[in-house]
Structures are given as C-alpha cells and as structure tokens.
Structure 1
C-alpha cells in the first residue's frame, strides 16, 4: 500500500502555480479568473504563476500534462491550484509522469474534474485538497465567502486540525460570468439547513477518498486510478458530491449501486455527501424545485447505502463541492467524523 503524506505548505510571498488541467476556461471567461488571481495576491499574499495552457482553449492532453509537470518540477513554486474544472482531464492521466510528481510533492487544490488529479496524487502518495479553484471560489462575485476563505487559508498555511462547521447561508443560483455587473454585487443566498446525520452513533477517523460522483464513475469505467485491491480503502471516509450537470436521482442510485456491486461502498465506515448543486442555466429551478431535487438525491443515496453498506455513517449537505461557500477537504488526508458530537474535523 502506498504511504500517503502531506506535502510542505507554502508561506505568504511564495509562488503558486495556476493551471487548467481540465479546460482552459480562463481564456473564455477572464473576469472571475482575473479576480481570483487578484485575491491570491492581495488577500493570501501568494504570487500566481500561469502556464502555456492555463488560458488556452482546446489544449491537448499532452500540453496540459506538460503544465502539470512544469508546476510540480519548479522548485520556486510551492503550491498548485486549478483555475476551474472541465470534463476531459481523464485523457491527461496517461500522459503524467508519476515519478516526477512523486519526487516533487506539493499541495494541489481543485475539485470537480480535478477529481482525476486528486485521485492520481492519492495513488502517488501525496495528500491533495478538494476545493478552492481560482474561478469559482476565489473569483466569487462580491467577495469570497467567509467560510471558504477561512477554510482555504487554514488548508494553505496551517498544519493540524480544523473543525468544519455548517454554512449559515449558502448560494445555488449563478449569474453570467461574462457580464462585469455580476461581480459588483453579492450573490443572493439562502438560509443554511445544517447537516443531516444518519447512523451517527460512532466516531470514524480515516483517510478521505472519492470526489465528484460523475468523475468517479468515469474513472471506474476507464479502469484508471481506482485500485483493484479494495482493501486500500478500508476504514476511510468517502467523499461524494455532484456537479452542475445535476444527475438525476436514478443516475446517482445506479452509480452508487455499481460501486456497491464492485465492493467499494462497503469499505468506508463514513460517507460525507456534499450539498448538491440544484440550479443551472439549463435548469433554473425554483427554490421548491431545488429542494425536491436535493431530496430525491438524498433518497437515492440512502437507497443504495441501505442495500450495500447499511451501517455506514452518512452526513448529508456538507458544504463542499459544487456549492458556495465551499469548504476545502484534505484528499487522502485525515478526516474525523464524530457522530455523537455531530462534529467533523479535518487535518490540513
């Protein structure tokens, strides 16, 4: 089994690579990207360093892999952050030099399609960080969500434990990233609903694994980065969340059913489920429709877990993934889920 360790953390004043391993969307939508870069400099004291494919639309897998290699190999760069996600990073994985990255461990921050790279790092022995892309979290209209900023700052600079807490307010509705007016006002938010606990009768502490459910499914189909020796996941904390493509409850159930048939779900005594994205430009749900979609997803997950892992402790609506605020979670790092106390503590 690969030993997983935390890479050294950056310090204010250090250089941080900004890459687009999934899609060069900063080239199409520069406003949130530039705002995110500004906040990296002014609020976090880090100097962002872009690479040839960071703003290049249609960059080949080889070009994006070259940026990843350059970012990890440069000794003056102390951390790496994705600009955004995408849907094509799975094609980059075969181009990656595992030994180069293993020899140059660095904190990597990303989510969504970046689940590909997070899982690659897990198998390389490097703890990554699920959350906080430049465009979505740092480039948030108005100001960064305080919970996101606090979590990211701790994950970047402060080793040790950090206790997560539910968002008092959260946002689901997006506005046009191409419109400058979008960034001049705070987005509308909804009251928080807290976390929902199932089987919360024990304490589970283990290494986290999982990510965006759609990407996990693709990796299973392509037979990439998921160990055939499922015992490596024993005792871990499973992280699952869904994207703005908003898969149906039926699709979510089928994906989890297939993970159960493979024997994966049974390995994890705890499951954290991210608050689902329930609104998109293609499906601009009303609050009532959004609540119904979330309830259908919860029931789909419960149905699968009751069948394959009925004793697993589950926490729904944790503020990570395609939601705002967006907590940063260590990927491959330690998470403690304390059911009786209703507390979740991560180790950064």
Structure 2
C-alpha cells in the first residue's frame, strides 16, 4: 500500500509555481490567465512564478516535464498550480522523476487533464488537490464564485476538516475568452437542485481516487499509474466527473463497465459523481437538451453501479468538476460521506 501524506501548506507571501502540464493556453488567451494571476496576488497574497512552457502552446512533453521538475525542486516554491487542462498530459508522465518529486512534496492544484499528475502524485505518496486552475476558477469573469474562493483558501492555507455544501446557484455555459466583453460581468447562474443520494444508509470515510472520467479511461487503456494490486483502493472514495467533451451516456456506461470488469468499481466505499457539464461551444444545449443529457448520464452511472457495486453509496451533482462553482477535493486525502446526515466532509 502507498503511504500517503499531506505536503506542507503555503502561507500568504509565499511564491507558488504556475505551470501548464497540459496545454499552453495562457499564450493564446492571456486575459483569464492574467486575471487569475492578479487574484492569486491580491486575494490570496501569493506570488505566482511562471516557467518556460507556461505560456507556450505546443510545448513538448519534455519541456513540460522540465517545468514540473523545476517547480518541485525549488525550495522557494511552496505550491504548484496548473494554468488549465489539456488533452495529452499522459505523454508527460513517463518523463517525470518520481524520486525528485517524492523528495520535494508540495501541494498541487489542478483538474481535468491534470488528473494525470494528480494520479502520479498519489502513487508517489503525495496528496494533491483536484480543482482550482488559474484560467478557469481564478480567472472567472467578474469575480471568483464565493464557494470556489472559500474552498480554495481553505485547501491552500489550512489543515483539517471542511464541509462541502450543494451550490445554491451554478453554471456550465461558457463565454468566449477572446471577447473582452466576457469579463465585464459574472456568468449568469441558475438555481441548484441539491445533491442526489443513492444507498445513503451509512457513513464511510476513505482516501480519494479517480478524477475526470475521460482521463481515467485513457490511463486505464495505457495501463499507466494504475496500481498492480487493486486492494490499494479498498475502502476508498471514487471521484468521477465529465468534461466539456460531453461523452455520451453509452461512453460513460462503457468506461464504468470496464472499470467493473477490471475489478475497480467494487473496491470503493462510495462514489461522488460531479455535476455533469451539459453545454459546450460545439454543443450549445438549451435547457431541455441539457437536462436530458444530465439525466441520461446519471442513468448510465446507475446502470453500471447496479451490476458491479449495487450497494455502494453514490452522491450525484457534487460541484467538483467542469461546472461552476468548483469545490476543491483532496486527491488521495480523506473524504467522509455521511449518508444519513446527507453531509460530505473533506480533510485538507
């Protein structure tokens, strides 16, 4: 079993690395990136430090690996934050120096394609943090969502328990980052409908594993960063959420089915399913189409879980994925799921 520990936390005034382990989108769309850097300075009191490939679109896997190594090896850097996700971070993993990173543990914040690095860190013994990229959450037009901002502050600077809560209002419709008018006001939001609980008859606590469903599927296909002994995941809490790629209900079911066939789904004591992103620039769904997509995804998850883990507690629509707000979840850290009380508590 991997021995996991929480790395030391930064303090206001510290330097933090801002890197692009996936895509160098800050170079193409600087406005949300610069806004995110400004908020790191003004709202969190941290000094962001960029690296060679942070704003370089099309950087090589080796260039990105070099930035990761430099960020973790520098004793003056107290945390590492991803600028955004991408789609090929899996090619960086074989180039990483696990011993260098293990010897210099630091909190890492990222999601989506950064599921790759979060899983690598977990296997290295370092608890990471799923959420809060610079461009998406810190660079949100108008202001950071209060729930995101509070969750990130707690994850950055404190240790101990933090109770999550369903979003009263949320959003998953994006606006064009290339249009300056996008940043004149906060995104429009719609009323939340709370969490949906299944098998909520017990209290469980475990270390988290999972992330963006599409990336988890790719890692499984590449047989990369998956424990040889699946008992590593016994009693854990599975985190899954889907991206703006909006995989079909069939694809979601097939991925979960194959996880079940591999013997993974049965290992976990609970599943937290992130709120489905139901809109993208390629598929600008209206309210009815969006609701249908979310319902079909939920039914696909339930269909797989009924076969492979029928008694596992499940919570749907937890705000930790590609929707707004986005709560930070410790990756490899502890989460308690209290079914009877309908409460979720993470340990930062």
Same fold (TM over 0.5): yes
User: 1:6: which partner in 2?
Assistant: 6
The within-5 A match list for 1:94-133 is: 94-133=94-133
Equivalent residue for 1:194?
194
How far apart are residue 307 of structure 1 and its match?
0.3
- What's the counterpart of residue 16 of structure 1? 16
Separation (CA, whole Å) in 2 of partners of 1:243 and 1:171: 14
Give the C-alpha shift of residue 144 in structure 1.
Answer: 0.2
Return the offset for 1:228: 1.7
Alignment map for 1:188-267 (pairs within 5 Å): 188-267=188-267
Helix, strand or coil for the counterpart of 2:132? Answer: coil
CA contact (8 A) 1:269 1:311 kept: no
Residue in 1 aligned with 2:269? 269
Q: Deviations over 1:136-164 (max 9, x none)?
A: 00000110000000000000001000000
Q: For 1:172 and 1:53, locate their aligned partners in 2 and report how far apart those are by CA, in whole Å.
A: 29
1:177-188 matches, within 5 Å, as 177-188=177-188
1:202-242 CA-partner distances (Å, limit 9, x unpaired): 00100000000000000000010001210000000000000
Root-mean-square deviation (Å):
0.4
Secondary structure, aligned partner of 1:177: coil
How far apart, CA to CA, are the structure 1 residues paired with 2:325 and 2:133? 12
CA shift at 1:186, angstroms? 1.3
Q: Matches of 1:238 and 1:3 in 2, distance apart? A: 18
Mapping for residues 20-169 of structure 1, pairs under 5 Å: 20-169=20-169
Unaligned runs of at least 5 residues, structure 2: none
Q: Distance in 1 between matches of 2:305 and 2:2?
A: 28
- Counterpart position of 1:306: 306
Q: Which residue of 1 aligns with 2:278?
A: 278
Gaps of 5+ in 1: none
Count of residue pairs the alignment pairs up? 348
TM (norm. structure 1) is 1.00
Q: Secondary structure at the match of 1:38?
A: helix
Q: Secondary structure at the match of 2:80?
A: strand
Following TM superposition, the consecutive aligned residue runs of length 4 or more in structure 1 with deviations greater than 3 angstroms are none
- Return the TM-score normalized by structure 2: 1.00
- Between the aligned partners of 1:228 and 1:194, the Cα distance in structure 2 is 37
Q: What CA distance in whole angstroms lies between the structure 2 residues aligned with 1:267 and 1:220?
A: 16
Per the TM alignment, residue 287 of structure 1 is displaced from its structure 2 partner at its CA by 1.0
Aligned partners of 1:222, 1:91: CA distance in 2, in Å? 10
- Deviations 1:248-267, CA, capped at 9 Å, x for gaps: 00000000000000000000
* Deviation, structure 1 residue 72: 0.2
CA deviation vs aligned residue, 1:295-334 (integer Å, no higher than 9, x gap): 0000000000000000110000000110100000000000
